[in-house]
Structures are given as structure tokens and as C-alpha cells.
Chain A
Amino acid sequence: MLAYVVKRLGLSVVIVSVAMALLFCMIYLVPGDPASVALGPRASEAMKEALRVRMGLDQPVWVQFWNFYSSAWRGDFGVEVLSERPVIDVVLEQLPYTLALIAGGITWSVGLGIPLGCWAAVKRGSLADRLVGVLSVAVIAIPSFVVAIYALLIFSVSLRWLPAIGAGEPGDLGDQLVHLILPSLAVGLGWVGYIARMVRASMLEVLETSHIRTARAFGLPEPMITYRYALTIAILPTVTLLGVGVGQMLSSAVFAEIVFARPGIGRLVYDAILTRNFPVVSGAVLVTTIFFVLVNLIADLVIGALDPRVRSSF
């Protein structure tokens, strides 16, 4: 197990390193002068040049690359171009909002996807199974921003049941949860379908195994067989799927944060790209990359711990 953990950790470091190199290339290649955009039309050329020097943009590209790389590995993302606040502070104050959004999305997807998948598997071939199948594909096919806009129009504008914008009163957990319902639904709804399909397929496989047949032969109640014995095994692939799903939800979070005017990493990066605030872009993207790699690492380690076949494949 230790060798497996070490290998996965090493692979994670390589992934983050490659992501950093790609990020630098994208930042370097994107057109537009950060100083002109940041300082606005009234800034003199001398002011813009001073800002370029402060940002290190006057250096040769390989020096910029080295500075970026070495600073990032030290955890030093520099300061925001204009407010001069440490980038890490700017990123970390937005990160909890996005994590809450993703956690909400996972709650929707797991909370609805697993029961639906189980139900469809138990009712295999029935109308309910077909209905769940159609619904699953339908919610997978609907883009999250469409869900976001319609959820907002129905539940906020028309019914006025839920708030349309913001993340809730700071310090008021109840208000923050209420503000989380629609954005997290938008982020997580598509994954309800994925998980329902995955759980159904996995359950059907497990329900045919000999130990389940044995349990039935012993006369155990069907709900116990389904949820206690079959589901605990059938759910394993879902853990891996959720690891990938977090990355997908991070992408969906950008739309949700813009449509619902929520704070968060997605909106921070979007604004920072538009204003060419590169220290913030690099800091935020690196933090989310590390987060994504960590989530997948944890998912792999959990699977490895539960399934010896995975460990032995490394």
C-alpha cells in the first residue's frame, strides 16, 4: 500500500508541474497588455511601464517562466496588481464559496443519483427503470448554465421562493444554505444522471453475484440485501466517478457563480482573465488544480484501500 501511495503522490506532483507549465504558456500567449487594462485609459505610458516592471513583464520569457515556477512551488503567488493584497489571501477568501458550491452539487448528485440508480436496478425492465433511464440522460444532456437560468427564473423570479443573487449573509449559516440551493442544483443536476446510470449498472452486476444469491437464500429482507450488501460494493465505481466529477463541477461553478452573482474561484478567475490580472489567474488556477489533483488522489487511495486489485495494478 505504501508503494502505491508514493507512486500516486509522485504522479500528482508531475500533474501539477505540467499544469503549471501549461498555465504559464496560456498566460504568456494570450493577447493584451495587463498594464493598459489594469490602469485604464487615463494612465500615462510611464505609469504603465512601471507596472509592467513591477509585474516582471519586462523580463525575458525564460526568466518570467522561472520566476513563476519557483515562486509557485514556494507557495508565493505574489500580490494582486492593483490592490497589492497577497494573491493567496484573495484566492483563499473565495475558495470556501466554491467548495461549498461543489459540496452542494455533490449532495444533490449523490442524494438523488444513488437512490434513483438503486431503484432502477431493483425495478429492472419496469416502467420506472425506463423512466429513470430517460430522466438520467436528459439531465446529463442539459448544460448547467441552462439549469441555472431556468432554476433562477422559476424559483426566484416567478415563485420568489429562493434568492437569486449572492451567497447569503456573512456569518448566517442558514441564509448561506438557502443561497446555496439553486446554484448547487445547477452544478450537481447533470451528475445525478451520471451517478444514477453508474449505480444502476453496478448494482445489476452485483445483484447477480453468488453472495447476494446466498443472502436471499438465507431469507434476508430485500431492502437489507439491496442497501447493505449490494450497494456497498456497487458504489465503488461512483467514488472514482465523483473524483472526476469534482473537476467538471469546478467548470460548472464558473457559470453558476456568474449567473447567481456568487463569490467564488470561478468568478474570480473569469474577472481576472478579463482584466489580465495574471497573478490572481495563476494563483487561483494553481490552487484549484492542486485541489482537483488531491481529490482524485484521495479517491484513488480510497479505491486502492477497498480493492486490492487496484493496488496490485501499480
Chain B
Amino acid sequence: MKNKTNTKYYILIVVFTVIFFLCMAFCFTRFRTLSRDYKIRSLSYRMEEIELEEKMYGPSHTFSSLYFSNNYEEEFDEYWEFCDAYLAYVRGRFSEEKTPYTEVLQDYLDTAPGGEREKAVEGYLEELERP
């Protein structure tokens, strides 16, 4: 009878330990998923991602980066300004009337901060002004 009582405790200890480790494994994986999601959604991570993609694929890729990562916040203003110019170039490229679009590109160049994006817009403007 007493042996049975002790066996019950051994079984309980094993069951507790197994349940404990299973629950801790669940918590660990869930927490890791959450922390990764949080990191991916953070502004700094998205900003780094855009800059990296811009370096890898050029400024024309900026619109895709903004669109697919849902980057609508004010922190991305300068990228959206460039995208306005880029989309004006795309529209102008497939339109008979180029003037409204070259004006948008010229407006961007008037206040452009320089760098790769400005060079790209200069190229777009040159292409649209080509007869």
C-alpha cells in the first residue's frame, strides 16, 4: 500500500516535469515569434530595410519597398516625396502629354537633398524631355 503511495509521487513528479517543459517550450517559441514580429514592424528595422534595398536595387525600388512593407508613417516622408517623382515619371512615360509630369520632376529637383535619388530623378527628367 505504501509502495503504491510513493509510486504515485514519482508519477506526479514526472508528469509535472514533462508538462512544465512542454509549457516552457510553447512560451519560448511564442515569445520568439512575437519578438521577431515586433522587430520586423519597428520603424528602425523598416527604415534599415528600405535603405538596404535602395543600395541593392537602386532608388526605383523604393516604391515597392514602401508599398509591400506598409510604410505610410511620417518618418518615410522623404521616400514618399521621391516616389511621387518616380510615379510621375512612370505616368509621363506612358502619356502623350509629358509637361505635367516633367513639372513634378522639376519641383522635386528644386528641393532635392542630393544623392542617388536626385541623380535618378535627373535621369527621369532627361528621359521625359527627350523628343
Q: Do A and B bind each other?
A: no
Query: Which residues of B are at the interface with A, using a C-beta cutoff of 8 A?
Result: none
